[in-house]
Amino acid sequence: MKANYNLAAPLARLSDCSAGRFLGINPSVSYPYVGEFPYLCGGYIIISTMRKKKKIIIVLLLVVLCFGGACAGVLYYQLFVPPFRLAKTAYVYVDRDDTADSVYHKIVRATRCERMAGFRWLARYKDYAKYVKTGRYAIHPEDNAYQAFSRFLRGYQEPMNLTIGSVRTLDQLARLVGEQLMMDSAEVMKGLNDTVYWQTQNYTPETLPSLFIPDTYQVYWNIGPEEFFKRMQKEHKRFWNAERRAKADSLGMTPVEVSTLASIVEEETNNQAEKPLVAGLYINRLRRGIPLQADPTIKFALKDFTLRRITNAHLTVDSPYNTYQHAGLPPGPIRIPTPAGLDAVLNYARHNYLYMCAKEDFSGTHNFAATYGEHMRNARRYWNALNRRKIFK
């Protein structure tokens, strides 16, 4: 049998330490000495230290996980939770002189966004300042920062509706287009005045208005002059399909001549039902070699579109657009005619009228006549109505 040793003294010292208390060592008790005790005490200290380190590591891991989770939550919130306060889609126009910072401010103004951190993070990460692209960009109420930023970075624009109106002059057309697109009226006018280019397309400055077909077209806001004019030529060809060209041929007219006559018709009347009647009247005069004697051409020659009464003095204006002095059609359209006006000429009303005069009730419609005598009776009624209203010019 192994001997028992009284280890009271050393155990007493051990019992005073935390390890002894933890092990429950009682110094008044005799323990068998088998050589294990020193190892037991030393082993416990090692195990205890390892356990403390493990706890510290676990705590640190938990802190890291919590911090990482918080960061991930903030990142998700900034990038993927919609920050825009919108009831409907807003549009941001990025111009040629815009910078990344000015784009931020435009987005804030357009969307009332109070949280742009996500957008700015992405902009810095992708170096957006070097890749600002012009255009018209849509921001939808449900968009998050990532979706919105991706559009701006990649240049994914939203097309817009461009309205080409039935205006009287190319100057007015340039202003109209410049007000709707990124390019200004000066750029449009420069393209319209490029006579060398338009000669290659078989247009003169006088016939160029016939190129444009008033309508609403979907284009990108940052479309350039060259691309714009190509698009207008494409739309012109689409309008003048085989059927319309066949009708023009049957009249002995080119599309430019149809456009010229249609412009006069539309200056004469805004009444859609009357347009084929007016077109038929002028076609009758053309076929008989009678001057058109269209008052709107006098206004165009004088460049005074406010005239309400054409006098004999006005009829003396020296201009190829004076259809009282020159037979046939004027050199080109006196306005950009609408599709309805063009179709009114192509589908003109057949009748024997040669004269017309505005009605004395100022309804915007006309009295038509086949003889000069009947026409003069209609004209006197209208002149008297003008005199009663004291309209002398």
Pick from 236, 307, 301, 294: which is nearest to 261 by CA?
294
Residue 2 is classified by DSSP as: P
Domain ranges in the chain are 4-80, 90-154, 174-239, 251-388
Q: Please report which residue ranges of 81-156 form alpha helices under DSSP H.
A: 100-111, 117-126, 145-154
Measured CA to CA, the distance from residue 203 to residue 197 in angstroms comes to 9
pLDDT value, residue 62:
67
- Assess contact for 209 and 332: CB atoms under 8 A: yes
At residue 309, the pLDDT reads: 82
Residue ranges for the chain with pLDDT beneath 70: 1-48, 62, 65-80, 392-393
Residue 29 has a pLDDT of 52
pLDDT of residue 5: 45
**Distant-in-sequence, close-in-space partners of 251: CB < 8 Å, separation ≥ 6:** 258, 283, 345, 346
Q: What's the CATH number for 90-154?
A: 3.30.1490
Q: Give residue 78's identity as a one-letter amino acid code.
A: Q
User: What is the C-alpha to C-alpha distance for residues 152 and 138, in angstroms, rounded to an integer?
Assistant: 9
Residue ranges of alpha helices (H) inside the chain are 8-16, 18-23, 37-80, 100-111, 117-126, 145-154, 170-180, 185-192, 195-200, 225-239, 242-251, 255-268, 275-288, 295-302, 339-346, 372-388
**Which residue type is seen at 60?**
L
Name residue, tokens 């697109």: 181
pTM of the model: 0.80
Q: Six-digit token pair at 125?
A: 């990460």
